[in-house]
Structure 1
């Protein structure tokens, strides 16, 4: 299901270390040791982070001789973008309607009104 995958993707990206790994993988594929370099964590901890990203469909690992590069699956971002875009369009439509109402209210308040004449005494 799309919603289940979106939940896994957003959950995986909730962690700043995993977001950083995704940003680095957007530039180039990398091995686990390369991904572990900037962090003060073990290679095993990085492997756990990669497992979460892999389960969410954000990365895949391939085998090149002794190396197992990690590759970012960019099409998953298309799924996220479509989801976000749908709600962005809905929000923009609500703001557009609000702008229309406010513009109409502004026009109504700016329209000159005929001054009221005082009633004459004795008139019914």
Structure 2
């Protein structure tokens, strides 16, 4: 009788564990996906065309080093830095450039999360250096 109860308890435990839902692990950001991120730097709402955008994979805070960088080019009448082939995940973006209207360098950064592998646009706020 004890053997039957032990086997029954083991089966119940096995079915219980098998039916539990497991959370998907956090996606690992970086190259190898289908997402395209188009970043436009803005200073007080005005597009900054002389800017380089830096990106760090798997980060939400400003890092000491970056994984990649792209200079802004005019696209559809506005400056855009395009990062392609990205996977879902967390990124940190940082821009450094020149605002001719004030004659000063501008810089700024922010975290960005890609939740689906599609083309996404983001306005990155920068401020006086």
Classify the TM-score, shorter chain.
under 0.3
Give the structure with higher Rg (CA).
1
Q: Which structure shows the higher strand fraction?
A: 2
Q: Considering fraction of residues, name the structure with more helix.
A: 1
Q: Given the two structures, how large is their TM-score scaled by the length of structure 1?
A: 0.22
Compare relative contact order (CA 8 Å, sep 6+) and give the higher one, 1 or 2.
2
Name the TM-score, length of structure 2 as normaliser. Answer: 0.22
